[in-house]
Structure 1
Amino acid sequence: MNSTWLAGFRSAIISPYEQFQLTEPRGFEDRTVRQVLHMAGGGQRLRIRLSNRYGRDALAIGAARIALRKTGATPIAETDTVVRFGGADHVSIPAGGELISDTVDLAVAAGEDLLLSMYLPGPTGLATFSHQAMEISYVAVGDRTADLELPGAEEVSSRFYVTGVDVLGAVGTPVVVAFGDSWFDGAGTTVGANRRSVDALNSLLSRGWVVNQGISGNQLLTDEVGEHALGRFDRDVLAVPGVTHVVINLGINDLGLGETATADDLIAGYTELAARAHAAGLPIYANTIGPFAGVIYPEVNAAPALPVRNEVNHWLRGTTVFDAVFDVATAVADPERPDHIRPDLDSGDGLHLNDTGAQIMARTMRLPLSGV
């Protein structure tokens, strides 16, 4: 079998120095951070991608290990493997830098969880992180990377410094990048249960898999939460190993956070994303912008945004700039109040879908790789 490196897991990152985050940023000193990485795809070997992109100081990693997860913070002992960097078991990543580990001789299958343990002697300064991981990470005092159990570990809901896992898989395997905001990131779904719309979409594919590059709060046009989508597209889509397709879910935060974007500006942004994907030879699919009239957060101003949402969705439903458009907005809307999420699909905040809503969203995204 001819093999190549493919993205098997991704986690999009933001700066801890932004004004708006949904989880408070933090740093580490003399701590082991053990993180759950839920694999979209698998292979016979793997390598880890780490980032200090937004750090202001060098990041020292004193030790690192990877293992298949048994349960919680406990690895399967016989899979526990040292992660090395250029042959060394420790490394320093400069401020703004990124790093790929040496190849790890550990097979992993789609749907399995890895546990990545890193000892951070620190002080690290505020950490580059994924602020809405919808997964638990475990933080323990000292170098506990080799310990099978972490009794008393602090549990946190962010992911730190990790941007991905590459797997050695078969040439020609389709890899879809789900690129967007919280409706991909999974806000509103059950933490630790892998019930994001992207997880549900993965289960529907007849071949290949989908890696998740969603950032809760991310915008198409403006740097509000994370670098805006047009700015991060090359790094978080085009540079993903093995990418063959792109599906986007963007626009809701351009409307609801800060100054409401105009329909013309959003349409121009969508059109540019489509052109850049096609120039790279990638088919690209888009979702309509979901309903959010019932949002409970005071910083989200829905009233002036809803007419623009409807105008942009009207354009999306008729445009040919994408290879297909999936009408997620209609699929999850309350038929009696189409600017609102259907009550039984609402996570409770009027802005995000619950587990059932995320499944319906996934079934609406009829990718050509899907069995539905």
Structure 2
Amino acid sequence: MGVQRPMGGDVDEVANWSREGFRRQSVRQVVRVSAGGARVRIRVSNRFGEGPLRVSGAVVARSGGGAQAWPGTTRKVTFRRSGSTVVPVGGEAVGDAVSLPTSPLEKLVVTLYFAGKTGPATFHRVGLATSYRADGNHLNDASAEAYRQSSQSSYFLSGVDVSGPFRARRNTVVALGDSATDGVGATAEADRRYTDGLAERLVAGRRKVGVVNAGIAGNMLLTSSSCFGEKGVTRFRRDVLGRPGVRTVIVELGGNDIGANWATGACFPSSHKPVSARQITEGYRALIRAAHARGIKVVGATVIPLSGYPGYSARVERLRAQVNHWIRTSGAYDAVVDFDKALADPAHPERPRPGYVSEDGLHPNDAGYQAIANAFDLKSL
């Protein structure tokens, strides 16, 4: 998952724990894996920490629902054979692989214990899966009794790798994107993002390919934001090229560069200036070049209808049309998936179909995300 700077709940009025961090607390997080395997390892990020992060202990288990771990499945996670680790500022720690057979689409719980003060937490704001917190060390509790506090964000956990023996095998698709990838508008706790639907199609088709969701709500291709994460052209190296076994990346970015092209406010840096279609498409070309240099296939996604975007105007629509025309016709991508066509109302192409959009009038609902998942040609992945 994509990680971002700690921030309060003032952007979406949903409180989180990122600014306060943790001390003498256990944090339990639920992750649905898209591919099955024999072993599991976790990734812990301190990308935006203010000091070294000490992880006093970590375990992984099968989910028993909510904050429960399935009894008898808890496995201790070590880091270079140590039960604890210190993650430097800006760094990531990868746990040693543990034996835990998993099935495709199974849910796991990852629990981290922090004996000392963590400081502000590197996190992911839109979780759509509940995280749980307990005072004290409750790493090995199968019961959910101690986990009485909950949050809709995730903390420090930047990934869960599932595999047989870890070897150089390219069987991962990374979805890099903004809120349309992150799943804003989908039902929480229901695994209804487009990446969930895509993973389910791959499993049904007996294709042994995992899907990683690297979406960050509000994210932009060309502008970094204190609220919405590092710009796509920067985080591409970490969130795509830095992951093991990547064979394909889906690029779904640019909608916020277009919709917020003339926006101002606390979430936008002073350097934020209007950008042209050419600047956006040059950003795409930079990602394509970087991926191809690593032998990674790139699938481009068109920008979804933006009529529900705050500040939407005719010039926003003209810019979206120019960018989408380039995505469809330039031939720069190895393949194209038409999110716009999957969602648009045929009678009013600038708008989403009424049955495919959430209450905000912009983001897809569960049906809209399924329509996007169905738009993929699985062979393109």
Are positions 1:264 and 2:278 aligned together?
yes
Paired residue type of 1:266 = I
Paired residue type of 1:134 = L
What SS does the corresponding residue of 1:187 show, helix, strand or coil?
coil
Are positions 1:145 and 2:139 aligned together?
yes
For residues 149-203 of structure 1, the C-alpha deviation after alignment (integer angstroms, 9 at most, x for no partner) is: 2336111000100111122337645211111111111111011111100010111
Identify the residue that residue 292 of structure 2 maps to in structure 1: 278
Are positions 1:114 and 2:128 aligned together?
no
Whether the aligned pair in 2 keeps the contact of 1:328 and 1:365 (CA below 8 Å) is no
Identify the residue that residue 165 of structure 1 maps to in structure 2: 160
Paired residue type of 2:187 = T
Are positions 1:306 and 2:317 aligned together?
yes
Paired residue type of 1:188 = G
Q: Which moved more, 1:79-88 or 1:192-201?
A: 79-88
Whole-Å Cα distance in 2 between the matches of residues 267 and 139 of structure 1? 43
Identify the residue that residue 31 of structure 2 maps to in structure 1: 37
Whether the aligned pair in 2 keeps the contact of 1:144 and 1:150 (CA below 8 Å) is no
Alignment partner for residue 179 of structure 1, among 158, 163, 176? 176
Whole-Å Cα distance in 1 between the matches of residues 318 and 188 of structure 2? 33
Whether the aligned pair in 2 keeps the contact of 1:140 and 1:150 (CA below 8 Å) is no
Paired residue type of 1:348 = E
- Paired residues, what number? 356
Whole-Å Cα distance in 2 between the matches of residues 20 and 244 of structure 1? 37
Whole-Å Cα distance in 2 between the matches of residues 19 and 193 of structure 1? 23
Whether the aligned pair in 1 keeps the contact of 2:66 and 2:144 (CA below 8 Å) is no
Tell me the TM-score normalized by structure 2: 0.88
Q: What's the offset of the Cα at 1:29?
A: 1.8
Alignment partner for residue 84 of structure 2, among 85, 90, 105? 90
User: Pairwise mapping of residues 127-138 of structure 1 onto structure 2 (< 5 A)?
Assistant: 127-138=121-132
Alignment partner for residue 126 of structure 1, among 120, 125, 135? 120
For residues 17-49 of structure 1, the C-alpha deviation after alignment (integer angstroms, 9 at most, x for no partner) is: 599854543311221110001101121111111
Identify the residue that residue 211 of structure 1 maps to in structure 2: 212
Tell me the TM-score normalized by structure 1: 0.91
Q: What's the offset of the Cα at 1:319?
A: 1.4
Whole-Å Cα distance in 2 between the matches of residues 159 and 249 of structure 1? 22
Whole-Å Cα distance in 2 between the matches of residues 35 and 283 of structure 1? 31
Paired residue type of 1:220 = L
Q: What's the offset of the Cα at 1:221?
A: 0.8
Q: Which moved more, 1:167-176 or 1:114-123?
A: 167-176
Q: Percent identity?
A: 38
What SS does the corresponding residue of 1:368 show, helix, strand or coil?
helix
Paired residue type of 2:292 = H
User: Pairwise mapping of residues 1-372 of structure 1 onto structure 2 (< 5 A)?
Assistant: 11-16=1-6, 22=12, 24=16, 25-26=18-19, 27-151=21-145, 153-169=148-164, 172=169, 174-205=171-202, 206=205, 207=207, 208-224=209-225, 225-257=228-260, 258=263, 259-295=273-309, 300-303=310-313, 304-368=315-379
Whole-Å Cα distance in 2 between the matches of residues 260 and 188 of structure 1? 27
Whether the aligned pair in 2 keeps the contact of 1:21 and 1:131 (CA below 8 Å) is no
What SS does the corresponding residue of 1:127 show, helix, strand or coil?
coil
Whole-Å Cα distance in 2 between the matches of residues 93 and 291 of structure 1? 41
Paired residue type of 1:292 = L
Whole-Å Cα distance in 2 between the matches of residues 347 and 155 of structure 1? 24
Q: What's the offset of the Cα at 1:238?
A: 1.4
Q: 1:305 to 1:19 in 2, by over 3 A?
A: farther
Q: What's the offset of the Cα at 1:323?
A: 1.1
Q: What's the offset of the Cα at 1:336?
A: 2.4
Whole-Å Cα distance in 2 between the matches of residues 278 and 202 of structure 1? 24
What SS does the corresponding residue of 1:272 show, helix, strand or coil?
helix
Q: 1:229 to 1:356 in 2, by over 3 A?
A: same
Q: What's the offset of the Cα at 1:94?
A: 2.4
Whether the aligned pair in 2 keeps the contact of 1:289 and 1:313 (CA below 8 Å) is yes
Whether the aligned pair in 2 keeps the contact of 1:345 and 1:354 (CA below 8 Å) is yes
Alignment root-mean-square deviation, CA:
1.9
Whether the aligned pair in 1 keeps the contact of 2:5 and 2:123 (CA below 8 Å) is yes
Identify the residue that residue 3 of structure 1 maps to in structure 2: none
Identify the residue that residue 5 of structure 1 maps to in structure 2: none
Q: Which moved more, 1:172-181 or 1:68-77?
A: 172-181
Whether the aligned pair in 2 keeps the contact of 1:260 and 1:305 (CA below 8 Å) is no
For residues 293-345 of structure 1, the C-alpha deviation after alignment (integer angstroms, 9 at most, x for no partner) is: 123xxxx3221422100111122221100012122112211222211111111
Whether the aligned pair in 2 keeps the contact of 1:63 and 1:89 (CA below 8 Å) is yes
